[in-house]
A and B are shown apart, each in its own frame.
Chain A
Amino acid sequence: MSIIMKLPKDKKVIVERANKVVYDCGDSVIKVFNSTKPAADILNEALNLARAEQAGIDVPELVEVGKTGGNWAIRTKKVEGKTLRQLINEDPSVDRMTEFVELELSIHAHTNPLMNRQKDKYTRMINGLTEVISEATRYELLMRLDGMPNHSKVCHGDFVPSNIIVREDGSMCVCDWAHATQGNGAADCATTYLHLKLGGEDEIAERYLSTYVERQGCSMAYVQGWMSIVAAAELARGRVIERDFLLSMIDVVDYY
């Protein structure tokens, strides 16, 4: 790990988000976080990436973690190709849903006992929602979460087309492991579904869900059981615009 990470002059911005900028630096990609992002988050993301690689998943190779101009940054080897999101946008007529779901299931087929535990993470997030949802609802969410089956599958936590790079030969590499945990694959599926819904892609979201359920051989209800929990987790990530939508997903009951 170098202390100071140098960014080349000819770097190109790939994407710019509220809390980070991702640069194309020729043979590598550097993700520079803004200064308020805690070091622990960056190190956690890098560690997740390393652990995903250790688990045998096709991910960009971690090169270094360091600081540049006071900001934390992660450098990975550049993977040549286009994101699945780009490919979908370029030619919406090609159905890539099965590929997408199979890739997700192939990640779930891996384990890494050192990864963070999904239930711990969700519990933390729900407990942090004191301002937004009532004690009763938090209690119910925690009770529901507690009762969910315990699995130890590697879960990406943000499995969306823009995080998948498709190489020339068709092989796929998954990036952005910031939210990865080990846990229940259905929760990961519910998260992807929710992200697609929040992205306004209702039809794709429904098709995704039914493909996942069919390929995984589980019931729709099994995945839906996680919806209120992942919605709460999204809320905890500070989603503001979709707050009412998320709250409506959270305010459900199995039974009183």
Chain B
Amino acid sequence: MSEETAAVINDGPALVVRSTEELIEKLALMREAQRRFATYTQEQVDKIFFEAALAANKARVPLAEMAVEETGMGCMEDKVIKNHYASEYIYNAYKDTRTCGVVEEDKTFGIRKVAEPIGVIAAVIPTTNPTSTAIFKCLIALKTRNAIMISPHPRAKGCTAAAARIVLEAAVAAGAPEGIIGWIEELSLEATNTLMAESDIILATGGPGMVKAAYSSGTPALGVGAGNTPVIIDSTADVRMAVNSIIHSKTFDNGMICASEQSVTVLDDVYEEAKAEFARRGCHFLEGEELDRVRKTIIINGKLNARIVGQTAHDIAALAGVDVPPSTKVLIGEVESVDISEEFAHEKLSPVLAMYHAASFDEAIAKAERLVADGGYGHTSSLYINGGESEKIQRHYEAMKTCRILINTPSSQGGIGDLYNFKLPPSLTLGCGSWGGNSVSENVGVKHLINIKTVAERRENMLWFRTPEKVYFKKGCMPVALDELGAVMGKRRAFIVTDSFLYKSGFTKAIESKLDEMGIAHACFYDVAPDPTLQCAEQGVAQIRSFEPDTIIAVGGGSAMDAAKIMWLMYEHPEAAFEDMAMDFMDIRKRVYSYPPMGAKCYFVAIPTSSGTGSEVTPFAIITDAESGIKWPLADYQLLPNMAIVDTDNMMSQPKGLTSASGVDVLTHALEAYVSVMASDYTDGLALRAGELVFKYLARAYDDPDDFEARDHMASASCLAGMAFANAFLGVNHSMAHKLGAFHHIPHGWANAVILTRVMRYNAAERPTKMGTFPQYQYPHAKARYVEFGRACGFTGASDDEVFESFVAGIEELKAHVGVKPTIKDFGVDEQHFLDTLDEMSKQAFNDQCTGANPRYPLVSEIRELYLDAYYDRPASSYED
């Protein structure tokens, strides 16, 4: 048998350390034991926890006797309560707490929380509560499958070890591994510091030096420190209850609980009453010279005299040369200063109490604040008051920088929890937060001794499909649809927003006469220009404000509808800031800014006159500040029109250029919505059908403006694609087109079209540099999606690659047919100007709101290359990484 094994056997199941060298060896043995313990089930652990708590509970009286005898401090009978509390209350609080394996599970969200032990706990245990703290720390260590090595205070090492041994032996008898609890018998600073450095977590209870040592050891620490609990007795308090609670708490274990009252500040109007009650119950008010004698005895050079700690009032008085009856409960010094130059203002860890006058509640709070700042940051404060005084209670808790604020409660018994309140966790280690230099601000419990592993399964987030409540379509539907405004909804005042061309061409006439017919008053703003400005919207909204409509009718292309949406927003919410609303989002549900609800003032009707933007069914609007030149892209479902009226009669007069530009815009909307990371079954059908219609009818509508059938289908295609991208959003094609428009004034639809097939090749790469981030988007598959789309549009081939190439060629053919110029250069963009703006344009395109839904996450440099390719008509590259 080796010497080491012999020592273990002599020490029973405990690991007892007698030197720093031995500490290292025993910690290794302890780690072994803990590794075994870590495999125990909840049932095994709960049995051990039960038996250990029971054993500690049974030994509460001899342990209390030992503690008093060894330390010469405190009151045996009160220490019995502490031991009882540490075993019974801690067991009761945590008996059903799950601390092993899966402790929480949410199957819907695929989240599991798994509790794991931390390992070896270094426990520093003070002299004031040696046995109860040892019981407490050992029990919570056992409950969490940790091992615990105790560094007791040399003044209390015998009783601390005795308490730990009782817990350990019961635990081992119940199946715990031997060596799961140990302690240092020959204490040295070196050993304590080594323990702190070598352990996995430190449960330190001690003075500032100890707590600092714990935190500087490099090991995570739960440290606590000194308190200087100030108590206030308000004028509204039940003075008798207050005074007797304070005496009860202050005398408990001769005032050694760190949450114990150190000073009482009494409002003037109840001061005498309180004083009389203190005196009647056996407290001694120090008078004349007595006060100074006690002052000089309790504090030496600003530090608490060790000889008074945990002594009786009588013994402390005797030490100071003051004669009081042996039954004296508390020595009270009526003092004025709350500065620490006043000895009574310190933490005294004995039945010595400072008493202050306060003329007002605010003065009492100010005193308490100062006392806390001087010696008890983060610990505990207390207030006696009528429970109905909620305003005063709030003022008090707001002012106190303490982690426990006790109302009408003896603070010794109140701070440790579960005795005079029942939701403060029972604990003998009270966190003091950052104010006290601690990592926790709560009462320390089992949750601080486990690592929680969160097992998170991949989940796809909820998606949605949102569209205007009413979408009316078919040739000649407009008057029928408008009828609803009067007959069904009873609208009285309508405000029309359109552009001057449409107004002058008499487009609004039909609407106006219908409104007249229904007796709906109306007014019209017809100054919307292409790329509508904020200034234009402001003019419009001024008219709207004076007209006070209950309906806004937007008539026109994207510009008129966007401008009308902005006017609607400004009318409903004049306070809303564009800068905030235009803030880009990663996920529209999680955006920082919440749009105000729309519709309180006006119903919004959108009537498109071109087949392109789909703005009548989208939640988007773009507005430009003419003064700063900034474009504000707004996107929120609050901007979704309430009613869309797609009447082909309104589409018949589109000029060729508009038919072309808006037609290829529709194709881009449909394609981008289809390959978007947010594409869903709900948007796919709409996008595919829109694409199919474009291939069938765009050329016809372009060639023959009066081809009603073609116009009708293009109107549908535009609206269908609008609904698709209103929900699946767009991609980098639009991001890049937005900047071509902004920097080089290429009409939007053509700006999309001129880069479309290049962006398709770029997105179709099977090995992109980076793919889009969205749980639904599992792997790069844009190519397959393009191929599906191509097939739906009638393109064929022997392989996917062939279909893709055939589709790309078909798009190029269509573009050429409707007059889209082949390169950016061909749009008259000056080469030098293009190159000068290229970097900024690339960066802005990268940062465009549309980029987020693109299946390939673009690098700025890649966008730049795409622009260059499309400017110089460079041959298509593979765009693989």
Contacts and interface: CB of A to CB of B under 8 A. Distances in A.
Nearest to B155: A136
Contact of A139 (B187, B212, B226, B349): B187
Given A143-B207, A146-B209, A255 B301 contact: no
Contacts of B301: 224, 227-228, 249, 252
A251 interface: yes
A221 B258 CA distance: 20
Interface stretch (B138-146, B188-196, B240-248, B489-497): B188-196
A220 interface: yes
Interface in A112-166: 134-137, 139, 142-148
Interface residues of A, number: 26
18 contacts: A139-B188, A142-B189, A143-B189, A144-B207, A146-B193, A146-B209, A146-B213, A147-B211, A227-B300, A248-B300, A249-B300, A251-B300, A252-B303, A253-B349, A255-B347, A256-B73, A256-B207, A256-B309
Given A255-B206, A255-B225, 18 more contacts: A134-B154, A136-B155, A139-B187, A139-B189, A147-B209, A147-B211, A147-B212, A220-B340, A227-B301, A252-B306, A253-B304, A254-B303, A255-B126, A255-B207, A255-B210, A256-B73, A256-B128, A256-B153
A228 B300 CA distance: 9
B189 A224 contact: no
A144 B307 CA distance: 18
A255 B348 CA distance: 9
Nearest to B226: A255
Contacts of A134: 154
B539 interface: no
Nearest to A219: B340
B137 to A, nearest CB: 16
Nearest to A143: B209
B304 A252 contact: yes
A248 B296 CA distance: 11
A136 B349 CA distance: 18
B452 to A, nearest CB: 31
Interface residues of B, number: 38
B775 interface: no
A249 B306 CA distance: 10
Interface string A199-235: 0000000000000000000001100110110000000
A145 B209 CA distance: 7
Contacts of A253: 207, 303-306, 309, 349
A256 B127 contact: yes
B192 A143 contact: yes
Contacts of A251: 300, 305-307
Nearest to A224: B302
Contacts of B327: none
B341 interface: yes
Interface in B251-307: 256, 258, 300-307
Contacts of B258: 255
Interface of B: 73, 126-128, 153-155, 187-189, 192-193, 206-213, 225-226, 256, 258, 300-307, 309, 340-341, 347, 349, 374
B229 to A, nearest CB: 14
A71 B835 CA distance: 89
B297 to A, nearest CB: 10
Contacts of B226: 254-255
B188 A220 contact: no
Contact of A256 (B187, B300, B302, B349): B349
A143 B205 CA distance: 13
3 tightest A-B CB contacts, nearest first = A147-B209, A224-B302, A254-B207
B126 A256 contact: yes
Contacts of A137: 306
Given A136-B155, A142-B189, A255-B225, A227 B210 contact: no
A61 B225 CA distance: 48
A80 B586 CA distance: 79
A130 to B, nearest CB: 12
Nearest to B154: A136
A143 B154 contact: no
A147 B210 contact: yes
B305 A252 contact: yes
Contact of B213 (A135, A136, A147, A220): A147
B306 A221 contact: no
Interface string A147-187: 11000000000000000000000000000000000000000
A107 B737 CA distance: 71
Nearest to B211: A147
Contacts of B306: 137, 251-253
